[in-house]
Structure formats: C-alpha cells, structure tokens
Structure 1
Amino acid sequence: MTDIHCFDHSFGITTIDTGFVRPGFDASHLIIEGDQAAFVDVGVSSAVPLLLQVLQNKHLAPEQVKYLILTHIHLDHAGAAGSLLAYLPYAQVVVHPRGVRYLAVPKRLVKGSTTVYGEARMASLFGEVLPVPSERIIAAKDHTRLDLNGRSLLLLDTAGHARHHICIVDEGSQGIFTGDTFGLSYREFDTEKRAFMFPTTPPMHFDPEAMHASIDQLLTYQPQMLYLTHFGAVSDVCRLAHDLHEGIAQFTTLARGVSAQGEERTQQLTAKMQALLLTRLRAHGCQLEETRIMDLLAPDIMLNVMGLEVWLDKTRG
C-alpha cells in the first residue's frame, strides 16, 4: 500500500492525504469523538484503502463510522463515497440537497467531469464512481445539525464555488471544514508560518457575489482553524479571508478585461492568471522556482479559467 500521510490536530481531527494528483493536494478529514467517527470529504476511489487503513491505525472499526460528510459532489471530494460506503455498514452519506440525485445515480456527474477532463484522463484520475444507495443519504438543508456522539456539527449552505456546497462548523473545536468555499492553500507556498490563499472558480457554478457572502458568513462563527480539502489546516483566518476576497475581485476583473473569444480568450486568461498568481506569490515571499510554481498551480489554473469563461458567458448573456 502507498505510504499514508496524516496530520493530527487537536480535538480528534486528522487530515489524511488521499494522494490524488500529487502529495499535499487533496485531503479527507477524519473527526473522532469517543467511539464514533466521521469523514469529511473522501477523495476518489483509489483513496478507499488509505482511509480504511487510517481507521485501523486509529483503532476504529468500520462499524464506528457514522457519517461521510461531503462538502460538495465534485469527484475529488465525493468520488469515493459509493466505494467506501460498502465497507462502512452503519455510515450515512451527508450532502447538500442538490447533490442527492447525483450520488444516487452518478451517471450525469461522471458525464460532466468527462466533459472537463476527457474520457481517458477521467478514467485515470477518478477511477470507478459507484452509486450511493438513496436510503443511506441525508439531504443536509441549511443549518442542519448532526450529532456525533454528543459533538454538534452545524451544516451551512455556502454557494459560490458550487450551488451544492456545504461547510461544516465544528463548534466544539472552533473549526470549520470549508471544502472549496474558502479557497485553496497549498503548504508548499507557506512562508514564515504564513499561508497563501487563492480562490477556486471552476465550471459550472462560480458566483463571485455568493462566494463573498459565504466567506463572510463563515467569519461570523469566529473560527480559529479552517480545514481545507486543498489542503489541510490553516489559521490566521481574518487575514486569509481578506486575501480571498481580494483574489475573487482580481479574478473577475482579470476576466472582464479579456475581450477575445474562443481559444484566444482561453490563452489570454491563462497567461493573465499565471502572471497574477506569480506576482501575488512573490509578494507573499515565495522563493520557489517559477517552473515549480506553475507545475503546482497548473490543474487549478486550468479549472479556474474554464469557470471564469462560463461565468463571463453567463454575465454577458
């Protein structure tokens, strides 16, 4: 089995590197409260053996997992849900109401991802996507509360990245599991214990105003720690929120400034986003080689450009 990289935090929270795309890119978070556990996001099907091994390492039986909480149904967060559930006899999958039908019948979800990545890359990246039995799905309406062995988890509807996105407020730890609503922060870009944050604007639902509002909503809970799927735990929340708001504004301004169409528009947006993120990283104090930075950012830049193009087409009608 591939080596498992885990990062234990306080309050029974563990970040598990699923190994998707590259190390330090995609996380599942395990919450343990007494003799019960919950996963927040589960990666793709190849992560299933890793997640089961972490349970064993934590001296937990599969029967002790109560919930698989999916921040949203993008496959890097939810692709393994059906496969993992087969090993967890008592677990229920918790997802935004808009995501329920896509988990139960994932054909449309797979088709949408195939449109983005192409058939061959789709298969190599995500593997098999199995359906989740509808009777094992909980539709998490806004402000739903889950009980994990007496630990209260508050689920919030947080649009902006996707219309089927929830965040999980863990009031006992003063932490929030943010999925992609609170952007991306890779540990390779940390400098002097300061994290770098930037937005994620993929197709098809990017909505800058909703994203601004969701970030501000999360701040009202005064979190001390944020647990990101991409990647891990970050603090200094207010500064990161400021950086994220600024990044959203910069991305939309950048997109509106491109008048070309078709492939030329894609090329111009890509070049401008590369330049913007490189400038921000240099101002942040990142000393990595430019080629290394671009390698790390390439998957996100591709998706962000695609999302901005969809958003531009919608706004320009």
Structure 2
Amino acid sequence: MEKKAPTALGEDLYLIDGYDLGFEGRTGTYVFKEESPTLIETGPSPSIPYVLAGLSDLGIRPEDVASIILTHIHLDHAGGVGLLLKECPNAEVIVHKKGKRHLVDPSRLVKGARMVYGDVFDQLFDPVLPVPEERLVVKEEGETLKLSDNRTLTFYDSPGHASHHLAVYDSRSRGVFTGDTAGIRYHQVEDRMEPFFLPTTSPNQFDPDVMISSMEKMESLHPERLYFGHYGASDHPEQAFDQVKKWIPVFVSEAKDALEQGEGTEGIQKRLHLRVSAYLNRNGVPDDHPVYQLLQLDFEVCAMGLADYLQKQNV
C-alpha cells in the first residue's frame, strides 16, 4: 500500500498512519516535532516501516528521537516498540508501571494475544521484541515530561480498558491522548454522519465502571481536543465522551443477555452488530459501508472482553 504523508494536526504535532491490519486510518503514531522529538504509540511491528518513513518525511532522524510514550502495552499500540528501538538508539520508552515488566519480557503478552488472534497473530504482530530494562521509564499519576519551554506532557493513570493505561495531557494543544480508554473514533463514517465513537472492550482487563471513571478524569482536565489511538483527533471532546459512556451499558447489557441465552461470544458479537448497524442505518450509513469491515473485527475482540468481564462478575 502506498503510504501517505504525515498529517499535520497543528502546534508542531503530526500523525503518521501505521496501516494497522492493512487499513488506512486505523492506528497511528503521534509525533511532537520538538528539539527533542517525541512519539506517542508505535503500532505493531508491521507498522514500523511506515513510522520510519513518516519520520523521514518530517525531517526527523531516528537517532534524534528522545522519547517513545506508550499509552498501554497492547500489541496494536506498542508491539513494535522493541523493533523501533533498534533504529532509535537514544530513545527512552515511557510506560505505565504495570506494563514495564511485560515489555522487558513480552512472553505473556504474546501468549495472551495469540489466544485472541489465533492463526493471524504472526501476520499482524510478528516480531515482538523485548525492550532493555535500562531504556524504560515509568510515569505515574501527575508526573510530567517537559518537551520545550511551552510544551509539557502530564501523565494520568486511566484504567478501564487496561490496568496499564496512561492518558497524556499536552499543555500546548490542550489536548488529551486517550489511547483506548475513551473508545474508538470511527472517522470512516464521517462522509455520511456526525463523528461516531464506540467503546473498545477487549480482554482481559475491561471494566465498565472504571472506564467511565477514567473518562470523567479526562473530562475534568477540560481538554479542547482528544487524540485517539484509533484514530486521529476530535475537536468535540464532550461529544466523544458522551457517546462512549452511552454505549458502554448497551454493550454490557447485550453481552449479559447473550450469555444468559447460551449464545456465547458469537452471540455477543451478533448482538453488538445488530445494535450498532441499526444506529448507523438510522444515521444514513448503508450496510455495505466499508466501516463494517473494521466493526466486525472490533466486535470479535469486544465480545471476548465482555464475556471475560461478566464471567469474572459471575454473571
């Protein structure tokens, strides 16, 4: 696939498309073009050639990259960090304290992802390389990273999607990098309707109440913009938060009904599809719209996480 140039988001911030899963606009790497260039997310290893090409387009040498920030260690966001570090010899990796050991030894991370993704794991994520412990820096609630005199990043513990999740507030753009805790931005439908956001409930640390609490923490920062792991920026934070908070109980309710009826994870997936497709149809998105390719993949993973959560609740 022919790559596109990095997207300028203003305030010396850019977004490189990593073409995760082979899709344009699925997962990306944010780049602060500062004196000490800093990245947020790497994507999986197959995305790293796109990241390196994007840095070249921006006139940034890999050896000048100072920091690589991971909102969380799920492989679609962070699986390529070990590979990228081979090209960025001077970069430190910033991670949540609960994620650090899994970057040093990614074997459990890989095992869990293989259970979710099965036979396509290698195609999507290989290789997953360990990160040398001496290159890892843990950031905790309220800690900061100063990029320049007029730009400081502040880190916030933001579980709900994953226990090892950080949200990052950028003082210059007054925006929050939400990772996956505030859901997915399905920009693909914006040719037909208003921006559309859904929660992502992948296994095995999804917790709806904690996710909502983390979003409320982000809201308390009064951001002017949200930067999503999937994908891009929204200038309407309240719209995004409201939609995701409304869909979370719908997802949980549909999953509970499916399990009570003995339908399993396939039943959950079908119910999510019916609810969401009905909503999209009402808003002018036809059944043959390309967004359904992504939704099908996402609902498979969301169904697993919902079933896992409910089984832990003895539902």
- Whether 2:257 is the aligned partner of 1:260: answer no
Match of 1:241 in 2: 241
Quick one: which of 274, 294, 297 aligns to 1:296? 294
Q: Does 1:25 align with 2:23?
A: no
Alpha-carbon distance in 2 for matches of 1:191, 1:183: 20
Q: Corresponding residue for 2:48?
A: 48
> How is 1:76-95 mapped onto 2 (pairs within 5 angstroms)?
76-95=76-95
Q: Which runs of 5+ in 1 are unaligned?
A: none
Task: Give yes or no for contact 1:92–1:136 (8 Å, CA) kept in 2.
Answer: yes
Alignment of 1:1-317 (within 5 A): 2-21=2-21, 22-33=23-34, 35-118=35-118, 120-150=119-149, 151-191=151-191, 194-258=194-258, 259-261=260-262, 264-283=263-282, 285-290=283-288, 292-316=290-314
Matched residue count: 312
Between 1:218-227 and 1:146-155, the stretch displaced more is 146-155
Provide the C-alpha distance between the structure 1 equivalents of 2:8 and 2:284, rounded to a whole number of angstroms. 26
Per-residue deviation at 1:294?
2.7
Unaligned runs of 5+ in 2: none
Deviation string, structure 1 residues 209-251 (Cα, Å, up to 9, x no partner): 1000011110111111111111111121112211111011111
- State the identity %: 33
Shift of 1:260: 3.1
How far off its partner does 1:193 sit?
7.2
CA contact (8 A) 1:72 1:162 kept: yes
C-alpha spacing 1:291/1:3, structure 2 compared with 1 (3 Å): closer
Partner Cα distance (1:293, 1:43) in 2: 20
For residues 54-94 of structure 1, the C-alpha deviation after alignment (integer angstroms, 9 at most, x for no partner) is 22221122232111100000000001100101111211000
Q: C-alpha distance in 2, partners of 1:117/1:186?
A: 22
Greater shift after overlay, 146-155 or 76-85? 146-155
How far has the Cα of 1:7 moved from its partner? Answer: 1.4
User: Which SS does the other structure have where 1:98 is aligned?
Assistant: coil
Question: Amino acid of the residue matched to residue 228 of structure 1?
Answer: F
Alpha-carbon distance in 1 for matches of 2:8, 2:292? 29
**Separation (CA, whole Å) in 2 of partners of 1:207 and 1:92:** 30
The RMSD of aligned alpha carbons is: 1.6
TM-score by length of 1: 0.94
TM-score by length of 2: 0.95
TM-superposed deviation, 1:293: 4.0
1:11-33 per-residue CA deviation (whole Å, 9 max, x = no partner) reads: 11111110111111111111122
